[in-house]
Structure 1
Amino acid sequence: MTQENNELIYIWDAYCGWCYGFSSTLGKLHANHSELPLSVWSGGLFTGDHAQPIGNFPHIASANVRIEEMTGAEFGAAYDQLLEQGDLVMDSEAAAAGFAALRSQAPERSAELASAMQRAFYQDGKSLSDPDTYREIAEQSGLDAEAAVTFMNAPETVTSVRNEFIRVSRLGIQGYPTLLLRKGDSLYQLGGGSTTLAALEERLAGVLG
């Protein structure tokens, strides 16, 4: 079967716990299908009036228990402490700008860099609004750390990120994470969240024929 013009598109948000849980499954799927390009787009979960302190979302703790049960993802002690303190503001626009900065240097490693961001938050309790977080991720990933911070803070990056949010919204995405397959001019939803690797493989095979 030809894979020409086929592409996986992953819609995520850096502050989405289910995205964190799904990242391992996504990595395994892409490893199995390296012939398919993988694009990663930020959706913008906590923006505008929704960019609030983490303590304003009391459901997160119980959701994390379910994420651990369903996906095997583990939340670190530093993150648990951050959750208990409750004052870190989850700002998806800042996180998306940081992701765009990393992605700009290594677009083919977008999923890997997204996972590094979520480990920084969900394991190490680091703010995804802090340029130092991206400086560290860039250094660990063999990227230009100072270029990443400059890109993150550039006014045109904010404009680009907001346009990316609009592009995702126009797709009619109902939640994060969502994994899509673009086949020619058509988009097919493969799953996300607690979707298993086996289920993703079955759906992918069904679409590709």
Structure 2
Amino acid sequence: MKLVYVFDAYCGWSHGFSGTLREVVSRHPGIPVDVVSGGLFTGERRVPMRRFGHIEKANDEIGRLTGARFGEAYRRLAAEGSFVMDSEAAARGVAALRRTAPERAVELAVAMQNAFYLDGHSLSDPAAYRQIAETAGLDADAALAALDSPESQGEAEADFRRSAELGVTGFPTLLAVAGSHTVPLARGHATADEVDRRLAPLGIARTS
């Protein structure tokens, strides 16, 4: 069995779920986790942030429910309103970092969200990935080379297809997958304890 975490790096609720995700991984270190980009802001949804008038209210709700923080640099970006969230570019970034250190995919996905939601960095900017890689002690040049590679583009597109094939309609979604059997563990928001209760019928107990 493995966990499949379908998220979008530009999704505020995915940012809010980061604490739960880290805790679930900490409690179940023996369960592999696939990190999959879902593609929230693609096509016609790639528009300036000002077009999403609910952002500030949604962020307040996310913070209240999850304790997630939204940094001043991000708040200024959202208030100015011209920034365009491009989930395809972010998915290439996920793929590039995942290729550089596949065993640290969860940690790096969280770092990407922090880069945007705390520090206000564009996830289309290679400099953001250099900083993430260097902070994580990875080969930044290798990460940037992967960012521009056809393989990362292909993996991003494959992630979007996989998200659709899994029937994911909102982000974040955490699934337990065993062969052809899929069990939803969280959609949008859940605590680590709630995830554990949903894992229990599958015979998965907390190990740490």
Give the TM-score of the pair, scaled to structure 2: 0.95
Matched, 1:44 2:39: yes
Question: Which whole-Å CA distance do the structure 2 matches of 1:156 and 1:25 have between them?
Answer: 30
Q: How does 1:43-192 map to 2 (within 5 A)?
A: 43-192=38-187
Letter of the 2:17 counterpart: F
Letter of the 1:69 counterpart: R
- Percent identical: 50
Q: How does 1:185-200 map to 2 (within 5 A)?
A: 185-200=180-195
Q: How far off its partner does 1:156 sit?
A: 3.4
Q: Which runs of 4+ in 1 moved over 4 A?
A: none
Letter of the 2:173 counterpart: T
Give the TM-score of the pair, scaled to structure 1: 0.94
Mean CA deviation greater in 75-84 or 177-186: 177-186
Task: Tell me the SS of whatever aligns to 1:168.
Answer: helix
Q: How far off its partner does 1:182 sit?
A: 1.0
Q: Deviations over 1:10-32 (max 9, x none)?
A: 00000000000001111101100
Question: Which whole-Å CA distance do the structure 2 matches of 1:80 and 1:97 have between them?
Answer: 24
Taking only aligned residues, the RMSD between alpha carbons, in angstroms, comes to: 1.1
Structure 1: which 5+ runs fail to align? 1-5
Contact 1:22–1:192 (Cα < 8 Å) also in 2: no
Letter of the 2:165 counterpart: R
Q: Deviations over 1:51-78 (max 9, x none)?
A: 1111111111100000001000010011
Q: How far off its partner does 1:207 sit?
A: 2.4
Structure 2: which 5+ runs fail to align? none
